[in-house]
Amino acid sequence: MAPNQSQKTKLHARIILNGKISTDELRARIQVRSSLTKTDVSAVLDALCDVMGEELREGRQVHLDGIGYFYPSLKCKGEITPDTPRKNAKVELKAIQFRSDQKLKDSIGTVELQHSKYARHSGKLSEVEIDMRLKDYFSENKVLTRRDFQSLCHLTRTTAADRLKRLREEGKLKNIGLMTQPIYVPAPGYYGVSRDTDGQ
């Protein structure tokens, strides 16, 4: 038996987000399915946010029937011991956690799956593999955002930002956006862009 015959490639299930829906789009769809106007829907959503914020601030769990439970979680800023002065000042809100109701899960129905050619975990990607993915990406897209790169290579937000900074320093990518809201395009000679172009 060959050494690798008994070893099988393991597949992993991962979500690749298929875009997003804006509040305006959500508002319009709710309005179509109800007797409310768009203004009414906006007022309800605003009031819901305010009331939920008030309840969560008091440490209460908020349950939206058919949707799920929302509850706050905390984190400590640094190490806290019994002798730490002003302990309360070192505790802050970490996140609003969510646990869905079964009704919401059921409304999603059957999940559609697709085998992705980007099968390997981002932590194992080499610089060459990242370059290959970027070349493939830019063959169909003109610009790249940090969020796009993060999804493309399955990176954390921080790692994606660090990798993009390095690619920019290496002269492979150019930022045509703002420093606070960068938008990247290939530099001349990279990712399918001719050296005779300015990459715009």
pLDDT tens figures, 144-157: 999 999 888 888 88
Could you tell me how many residues make up the chain? 200
* pLDDT-based confidence at residue 70 (cuts at 50, 70, 90): very high
DSSP 78: S
172: left (phi > 0), else alpha (psi -120 to 50), else beta? alpha
Q: What is the mean pLDDT of residues 26-36?
A: 90
Cβ atoms of residues 131 and 124 within 8 Å: no
| Mean pLDDT on 64-92 | 89
Report all structural domains of the chain as residue ranges with CATH numbers, in order of start. 122-186 (1.10.10.10)
| pLDDT tens figures, 109-129 | 877 666 665 544 445 678 888
Q: What is the mean pLDDT of residues 1-8?
A: 56
pTM over 0.85: no
